[in-house]
Homo-oligomer: A and B are copies of this chain.
Amino acid sequence: MAQLQRLAVNPAQICDRKIDLTREQQHYLNRVLRLQGGDRFIAMDGRGHWWLAVLEAHETGLIASITEEIAVNRELPVEVTLMAALPKGNGFDEVVRQATELGVGSIVPVTSDRTLLKPSDQKVERWRRIAAEAAEQSERQIVPTILEPVSFDVAVKDCGQKYRFICVARGDNRHLWDCLAALDPPQFRAGTGAPPLQRGEQDGGELSIVIAIGPEGGWTEGEVKRAIEFGFEAVSLGSRILRAVTAPIVALSLVGAIFEKC
């Protein structure tokens, strides 16, 4: 089941085990995700139901058929991106592994004022293999996407997530928990009577969150300031000083607890 892409669909699009894909969804599956006839993906209705679907190519476009409902869904009901400054040495291997176990959707490795070295292509490939292994081991349906490393400035500027947090070790910022709890819309909790997704929401209908975690020594003041300019909120992960390899795990543990606890 690993390595499948997800598509949010409106329950009204599903009839007789077929998904009536919109033009936008067909474009997204075919042009963005590069899927073709015969390829499988996961259709989600935003209410906690997931189905395994297979694409068929017809003259009129792509048609999707549901093959089975995914009974055990181990994915978070929110799309979480970890924007993590690269530590020295091999510390990032364990970050990728543990973040995957905790349900991360994407990881953006960033170079920062305190970690300038851009990793080799081999390293990125290695992280992708680790993510695939960890997704399988933790029985996830999805392998997180490991993006190409970029500079922190580009990452915060191009950030597409709706809710943006930057973790800062010192200072008097709000706890990430409080910020996440304030987002918690009932429609993202499993089992509640959520309204159906609207047309055109397939690309942004999920609650999307990005959490930026700094390198050893933390983000510089300038970095925090620039992130705030791009809509990030500075948050705390608690009283103690955490290492760069521990902070992402703490942040993702909180995301899991807040969105899965009910």
Q: Which stretch (A20-28, A108-116, A123-131, A132-140) binds chain B?
A: A132-140
Is A74 part of the contact surface with B, judged by Cβ < 8 Å? yes
Closest to A75 in B: B239
Q: Is A231 an interface residue (CB 8 A)?
A: no
Interface string of A93-115 (1 = CB under 8 A from B): 01001100111000000000000
The answer to the question of A238 belonging to the interface, with a C-beta cut-off of 8 Å to chain B, is: yes
From A52-60, A152-160, A250-258, give the one contacting chain B: A250-258
**Chain B residues, CB < 8 A from A253:** 249-250, 253-254
Count this chain's copies in the assembly: 2
Interface flag for A261 (CB, 8 Å): yes
Given A137-B243, A243-B137: A238 and B257 within 8 A (CB)?
A: yes
Q: Quick one: which of B140, B239, B243, B257 contacts A240, CB cutoff 8 A? A: B140
Known: A73-B239, A240-B138. A261 touches B101 (CB 8 A): no
Q: Which residues in window 197-251 of A have CB below 8 A to B?
A: 237-243, 246, 249-250
Which chain B residues lie closer than 8 Å to A184 at the CB level?
none
Min CB gap A97→B, angstroms: 8
Closest CB in chain B relative to A89 CB, distance in Å: 14
Q: When A249-B249, A250-B249 are in contact, do A239 and B260 touch as well, CB less than 8 Å?
A: yes
The minimal Cβ–Cβ distance linking A7 to chain B, given in whole angstroms, is 20
A240 to chain B, nearest CB (A): 4
Q: Is A88 an interface residue (CB 8 A)?
A: no
A178 near B: Cβ within 8 Å?
Answer: yes
Q: Which residues of B contact A94 (CB under 8 A)?
A: 94
26 A-B interface contacts by CB (under 8 A): A72-B239, A73-B239, A74-B239, A74-B240, A75-B239, A94-B94, A98-B246, A101-B242, A103-B238, A137-B241, A138-B240, A138-B243, A175-B257, A175-B260, A175-B261, A176-B257, A237-B256, A238-B256, A238-B257, A238-B260, A239-B256, A246-B249, A249-B249, A249-B253, A253-B253, A254-B254
Residues of B with C-beta under 8 A to A163: none
A200 to chain B, nearest CB (A): 29
A177 in the interface (beta carbon within 8 A): yes
| Residues A240 and B178 in contact in the complex (CB < 8 Å), given A250-B256, A253-B253, A257-B257 | no
Measured in the bound complex, the distance between the Cα atoms of B237 and A260 in whole Å is 9
Q: Are A101 and B243 in contact (CB under 8 A)?
A: yes
Which of A75, A176, A237 counts the most chain B CB atoms within 10 A? A237
A250 to B97, CA, bound (A): 14
